[in-house]
Amino acid sequence: MTGAPAASDTARLIARISDLELVARIMVEGLVSGLHRSPFHGYSAEFNQYRHYRPGDDLKYVDWKLVARTDRVYTKQFRETTNMGAAIVVDTSASMSFPQPLPTAGLSKFRYAIAVSAALAHLIATQGDAVGLVTAQKFLAPRTGRQHLRGLLTALSTMKAGGVWRPAETIRRAAERLGRRGLLLVFSDWYDQEDETFAELRRASRMGHEVVLFQVMSRDEIEFSYKKDVEFVDLETGRSLAVDAAQARREYTDGVTAFLESWRRRAVAEGFQYSLLITDVPPDHALRNFLIARKG
């Protein structure tokens, strides 16, 4: 019997296969069944009415403030509203193209983000919820259906990283067009306009959206695994800088560690789900870890 490819082979598979729908299906295969239930189901449930507590009711739905005021025990009842709306936002700036494609290189940050985005879009659409896509250049409103999913995956597969992006503006547009309370999934290395971007993420949360941040980084960016003199070229500005790698490593790694921890800490403080995605980790492993964290 032929099964899904081993997790360690997933990155090579993604690099080889141009059919993003197939890549997404391979990544998602078995994940939801292994988790027993969808990590997104029920997000769109909204409060409907109170009713008297009955023995066996889940105590987490008891309104304890109402108990204190009336000395009677009521539970909240919820109803399923229209399907959840989700918007996937992808950073298309040139910095996401690191590392540049080489025969021996793994996935770039951008290609990695595209693969995980495609898998999440497939997962959300398969459970019958609406999913859309927002980048600096593209907007696909959240919709349901296989035809829409194929169009979204086609859009993802044709995207390229280059130039700069305006994260605050793109996130604002995604949150406003998502409309009713929904799910905002944002993929970026978060190098650009940190304070302005975080303000828009906070604003999206206060609009009622659930915000999920994926910080996509390469191992070289985190550990600075260079040993000799090396010249770095800024992928967005073209400026170059010659560096003694051995001498610069400690200061650089301390700075990157502080940068990553700052984003994680700020995200957690606002109630956002935060995931650090490192491109040498098989994407299906990263996706599984994210889904398990949602179940926690």
Q: Where are the domains of the chain?
A: 7-39+82-295, 45-80
Token representation of residue 21:
């729908």
| Residue 269, pLDDT score | 93
Token representation of residue 246:
């051995």
Q: Containing H/E element for 45?
A: strand 45-52
Q: Would you tell me how many other CB atoms lie within 10 Å of the CB of residue 206? A: 10
Q: How far is CA 121 from CA 1, 61, 198, 223, 293, in A?
A: 28, 31, 24, 31, 18
What whole-number distance in Å separates Cα of residue 41 and Cα of residue 72? 31
- Name residue 271's amino acid: G
Helix (H), strand (E), coil (C) string for 65-100: HHHHHHCCCEEEEEEECCCCEEEEEECCCHHHHCCC
Furthest CA-CA distance within the chain? 74
pTM across the whole model: 0.78
What whole-number distance in Å separates Cα of residue 32 and Cα of residue 26? 12
Phi-psi region of 220 (alpha: psi -120 to 50; beta: other; left: phi over 0): alpha
Please say whether the dihedral angle defined by the alpha carbons of residues 272, 277, 281 and 282, taken in this order, is positive or negative: positive
Q: Would you tell me how many other CB atoms lie within 10 Å of the CB of residue 175? A: 24
Q: How far is CA 22 from CA 19, 183, 190, in A?
A: 5, 24, 29
* DSSP state, residue 153: H
What whole-number distance in Å separates Cα of residue 98 and Cα of residue 175? 28
Per-residue pLDDT in tens (0 to 9) along the chain, 296 residues: 333 344 445 555 555 545 788 778 878 876 765 554 566 654 445 555 666 767 766 676 777 777 777 777 767 665 545 567 999 999 999 999 988 654 445 789 999 999 999 999 999 998 888 999 999 889 999 999 999 999 999 999 999 998 888 999 999 999 999 877 899 999 999 998 899 999 999 999 999 999 999 999 999 899 888 777 777 766 667 777 777 777 888 888 999 999 999 999 999 999 999 999 999 998 888 998 998 888 66
| Residue 104, pLDDT score | 44
For domain 7-39+82-295, say whether CATH 3.40.50.410 is its number: yes
Token representation of residue 67:
């108990």
